[in-house]
Each structure stands twice: as structure tokens, then as C-alpha cells.
Amino acid sequence: MTPAGAPTVFVIDDDANVRAAIEGMLKSVGLRSQSFGTAQEFLRSKPPDGPSCLVLDVRLPGVNGLDFQRELADAGVPIPIIFITGHGDIPMTVRAMKSGAVEFLTKPFRDQDLLDAIHQALDRDRQTRQRQAELDALRQCYKLLTAREREVMGLVVSGMLNKQIASELGTSEITVKIHRGHVMRKMQAESLAALVRMAAKLELAPGKKG
């Protein structure tokens, strides 16, 4: 039984022989895979819990692989893509890579070249998921702040001193210190530098109130 969170390689190719060959290769190195004959079949599948990537044929029935790449991006599906094709050309390759493809392989390609690209794609997806998980955790912490604490945080990360913040908010320096302590605790920030990095990740404008 495959453990939850294990990586999955999705393969979309209308050639059953190609799908079978890639699935067999992936199985031989212990990688889980799912294959589809069309892009529509892939869209109907359940997204995986763990890291994943997509091995995508450029020429597919109903939709061009490059157009499908754009559709996935527009839909907010950030899965790393490896293109495979029997009819590649330079403009096609450039378009795919500029749009974020991990690799563009022309058939027949070496198994090792595809495996290398797949491992690179899975590593990229792991990093993306890790960054997203960290951002989600930060957002949850930020939600715990009161409106005044958010004001204080915005001014703190802008570089203002407690005395200046107190003047800006029309309150006492002691009160600002208390709010600042709450912000550091709720955000789980060990230092001012860490809080500044958190604000940057949250894309908070320096000095933003509310």
C-alpha cells in the first residue's frame, strides 16, 4: 500500500504504448503514477495529497499541450510539467520553458533523461508545497492579531521605535510595548528581523494599519 503523501507522476499521452512504457519505467524505480489518454480525464481525477508532476504530450486530442499548460496556470494549478513530443521545434520549446516547464523532451528520449526531469519536478513541487504550508501557518497566526496589534506590527516592521508608534497611534509607550509583545508571541517571532521577514511573506505594506 502506498503511503499518504507519496509523490505521484501523472502522464497524459494519447498513445497507450507510451503511457504503458513510462508507467513501467516509473514502477521499476518505485514511483507511483497515473496515466490518462486526454487532458479532460486528468482534470476529472482527484488531486494528490503529496508532491506531484505532470508528463504531458504536446499533441493531444481536443487540446494542445501548451494551451493546457496555460489553462492549468490560469486555474491556479501549479503542478510542474515535463513536455514530451515527437514533433518538437525551437519556438515550441521556448514557449513551454518560458511558461515554467521543467523540461521539454523529444521522442525518442532516454529513460534517464525523463527520470532526471521527473525528480527535478518533484523536488520543485515539494519546495512549493513547503512554502505554501509555511505561508498558510503565518496567515493563521496573523488572524490571531487584533486590529490594533496589526497596526502596531505594521509600524514596527516599518522601522519605527515604540515612542514613535505611540505618537502615531495616540497612545502610551507602555501600551505599545504590550501590543508589541503580543504580536511577537502570536506571530511566534523570535526577533524583529524574523517579524520583518514574516511581514514580507505576508506582503504587508510597511506601516500599514488595520
The pLDDT tens digits for 172-193 are 999 999 999 999 999 999 999 9
Record the pTM. 0.77
Q: How many CB atoms within 10 Å of residue 114?
A: 19
Contacts of 22 (CB under 8 A, 6+ apart): 11, 13, 33, 35, 55, 114
The pLDDT tens digits for 75-134 are 888 899 999 998 777 888 888 888 889 999 988 889 999 999 999 999 999 999 999 999
CA distances from 23 to 118, 138, 161 (A): 13, 38, 60
